[in-house]
Structure 1
Amino acid sequence: MSGWKKWAPMLLALALGTASMAQAATQTIKDVLGREVKVDLPAKRVLLGFYFEDYMAIGGEKAFDKVVGISRDAWEGWRPANWAVFTAHRPSLASLPDVGEVEVQTFSVEKVLALKPDVVVLADWQYKGLGPDVKRLEDAGLPVVVVDYNMELQANHYLSTVLLGKIAGEDKRAQQIANEYKAAVDQVQSRIAAAKLPKPRLYVEFGNKGPAEYSFSYGKGMWGALSTLAGGDNIAAPFVEWYGPMNPEKVLSAQPEVVFIAGTEATKNPSSMLIGQGVERAVAQQRLLAFTQRSGWTNLPAVKNKRVYGVYQGASRTVADYVMVQFMAKALYPSLFKDLDPEANYLDFYRRYLPVVPKGTFTVGM
């Protein structure tokens, strides 16, 4: 943690610059890729590619008064129940222009240019996926700022939060949220370090394909990185660099002591891990238990000891995902975190920073 403490002040200074937030002014900021970007801040017209809830939490609901377009499928398509909750509260979200989605190659530079934003905010994976199209935006005079929560790097979470606050004109609020994230992760890691216990072996899988087929596990990013922050020994790390399925035999031979199956509210696959907005706990448990019936899994330590858990995919890659670090750490080291209630902390984040509070199941055990 000493390295993190060393870098935090410098990251904050890089993001905040020197100009006052009292009035809009052209400022040079550094994004998570270290790119220097000149942009008028706070921005009056924002094109938002991803991290929609984070932007609203950090900037307040009023921040969306300045959003002129979004990559809609990355919200509505991926998390339809969550989208429905937000649009029921704020119907104007449904009328925001859609510029397309990067992963399915529908993102339209022409649509972005037509909206004339002051700044284009992209996730790191979107920036890399767009390739030369980013230069087309910049050549047209549009500043592009890259933020990142997907990699689950503490420095990126912190800096991205500060940057979004600066774009929205909410430095103080952003600083508070960034500090809360840091404090929560620090608490988990300091307790684990003090206990000096062996790292439990864990396996994480996105359960979107159901028990019949092994889906993505994670190496450096997302759930792989979250499991590292939570003090686990990720069995996928030697075999999966970023994300991809593990060979079932390798999972069995690694004998994980704890298993996490991630899921969403999506109902396209009738056997997928179902968890999230509007999902009843009993239903989430049923779906989770089905994974333990896979061939060979009854002999896994995690299954024998009932240490198989469901986690909500929508609660990863966000500034609020410190609650998933807490949940995973509590599953890995139950004696160290009896005082923590991660799911309650997740809902409390919404109560404090967002205009809606989701209802459903976001963590579950056997």
Structure 2
Amino acid sequence: MQADTARPASRWPGAFLRRLMAAMLTLAALMLACAVAPAQEATQGPIRVTDIAGREVVLPRPAQRIVLGAWVSLDALSLLHPDPVSLLAGWAEGGSNGIQPAILRDKFPAIGKVPVIGRGTLDSISVETVVAQRPDLVVLSQFDAFRYGAGAAAKPPALAQLEAAGIPVVIVDFFLDPLRNTEASLRVLGRLIGREAQAEAFLAFYREHLTAIERRLAAAKPAPTRPSVFLHAFATRPECCFSAGPGTIDGFIRLAGGHNIGVETLTGPVGQLSLEYVLARNPDIYVATGVSGGAAGGFALGPGVSPQRAAEGFATLLKRTDLAALDAVSKRRAFGLWHLFVHTPLHLVAVEALAKWLHPELFETLDPRATLDEINARFLAAPLSGTFWVGPNAAGQP
């Protein structure tokens, strides 16, 4: 009997102690959570960034309803977010956004229901329509908001009205000075939508590829000469010759080791060169830019364009009498490039293609196609599918 009563008496203190210990651990965890919570809230706090125009932008939390200006390619958000269309509370049609429905419609059919708040320039945007969408952020291009970088004195009324309405507006730039502003712009967007890690991952890839080109050019002995380049923008236009001045594609040409003849006469980022000037300058390299769509059989590049169509359209373009007189055409140093590369961080692919065209021996192993394939696989919400460059022999062969 004594032995029987001794057993429960010996077990009872151990069970009690285990329950007591568990209670104490739970209490300690609760106390720790209470102590840490204020610090976590303080860390999360408001999101503060400085955009590329030097303006401070403050959000209470990551943006979930964004209105996108016409000259901010949705590609930038597509690099950061798995469903960029879900972020859109509205957008302006035209501009660099003209090609987005073709790229994203199959994967994100909701793009067809995104409210339109204007078309083209910022002047066309209805501030009342923007306010009605209840956005927590408006994203505008410096091209639109500050007219070729003219500064705050040129601030459009629509921008002032949006700010007066209490709607945060961030200014980014992937067009006017893309090699200078792309990294800062994408980093700001990543922070404002809570996708900083995604922004940094792409920017590491971006910088690695561009730096490789710079280093190879710098290390070449003897130093390579810089071929002169005529960048023929929107080459299907009947009149010649719309081109690039300082900024925009000029930066791509310089980084790739070439000299853009447009900067010799143009003072703005885009402008018209006379045919007489182009013929007299007789550049070493001819690069035409094109977009998808247009007349059947005409020069086209971009989403949905087949290699055959790109090659045939480019061959037809080069038969124009005003272009056939160029040595670059007769010597088969003529190439075509998708024009919308200039509005997106994906322009690093264009820089690689240009480097390969300008210095084929130096960049023999460079593979822009592989770079685009990796971007499609690792970063873009919807792969960029189509033909985006063309050479004198075959489409897609830089």
Residue correspondence of structure 1 range 1-366 to structure 2 within 5 A: 25-49=45-69, 50-58=72-80, 60-74=81-95, 78-79=98-99, 82-103=100-121, 105-128=123-146, 131-195=156-220, 196-210=223-237, 212-241=238-267, 242-267=269-294, 269=295, 272-295=298-321, 297-366=323-392
* Stretch deviating more after TM superposition (148-157 or 288-297): 288-297
How far residue 106 of structure 1 moved from its aligned partner, in angstroms, is 2.6
- Letter of the 2:124 counterpart: T
Structure 1 stretches lacking a partner, 5+ long: 1-18
| Counterpart AA for 1:302 | A
Letter in 2 for 1:313: H
Residue aligned with 1:207, SS: coil
**C-alpha contact (below 8 Å) 2:292/2:302 kept by paired residues:** yes
Residue deviations 1:28-77 (CA, integer Å, cap 9, x gap)? 3110111122223411322222221211212x22444332111233466x
Instruction: Note closer, same or farther for the CA distance 1:45–1:207 as it changes in structure 2 (3 Å cut).
Output: closer
Larger displacement relative to structure 2 (142-151 or 60-69): 60-69
Q: Which deviates the most, 278-287 or 245-254?
A: 278-287
Which amino acid in the other structure matches residue 28 of structure 1? R
Instruction: Give the 3-state SS of the residue equivalent to 1:204 in structure 2.
Output: strand
Moved segments of 4+, more than 6 Å: 19-23
Instruction: Name the TM-score, length of structure 1 as normaliser.
Output: 0.86
- Alpha-carbon separation, structure 2, partners of 1:191 and 1:161: 26
Q: In structure 2, do the counterparts of structure 1 residues 114 and 151 end up closer, same or farther at CA, with 3 Å as the change threshold?
A: same
Paired amino acid for 2:74: F
Aligned-partner SS, 1:137: helix
CA RMSD of superposed structures (Å): 2.3
Letter of the 1:128 partner, please give it. F
Q: How many residues get paired?
A: 342
Q: What is the distance in 2 between the residues matched to 1:24 and 1:137?
A: 26
- Deviation for aligned residue 1:85: 3.5
User: What's the offset of the Cα at 1:364?
Assistant: 0.7
- The answer to whether the 8 Å contact 1:323/1:345 transfers is yes
1:103 deviates by: 2.5
> What amino acid is the match of 2:379?
Y
Q: Which amino acid aligns with 1:176?
A: A
Q: Aligned partners of 1:57 and 1:247: how far apart in 2?
A: 38
TM-score, normalised by the number of residues in structure 2: 0.80
User: Equivalents in 2 of 1:159, 1:69: separation in Å?
Assistant: 24
- Whether contact under 8 Å (1:63, 1:168) holds in the other structure is no
Percentage identity across aligned positions?
28
Choose 354-363 or 337-346, whichever is displaced more: 354-363
Offset, 1:340: 1.4
AA aligned to 1:109 is V
Query: Displacement of 1:291 after TM fit?
Result: 3.2
Q: Displacement, 1:127?
A: 1.2
Helix, strand or coil for the counterpart of 1:29? strand
C-alpha contact (below 8 Å) 2:236/2:317 kept by paired residues: no
- The answer (yes or no) to whether the contact 1:209–1:215 under 8 Å persists in 2 is no
Deviations along 1:123-167, one digit per CA (max 9) or x if unpaired, are 111212571211111111111100000024333111011011111
| Cα distance, 1:345 vs structure 2 | 1.6
Distance 1:32 1:217 in 2: 25
The one-character-per-residue Cα deviations of 1:11-36 (angstroms, maximum 9, x if unpaired) are xxxxxxxx989986323311011112
Secondary structure of the residue that 2:262 maps to in structure 1? coil
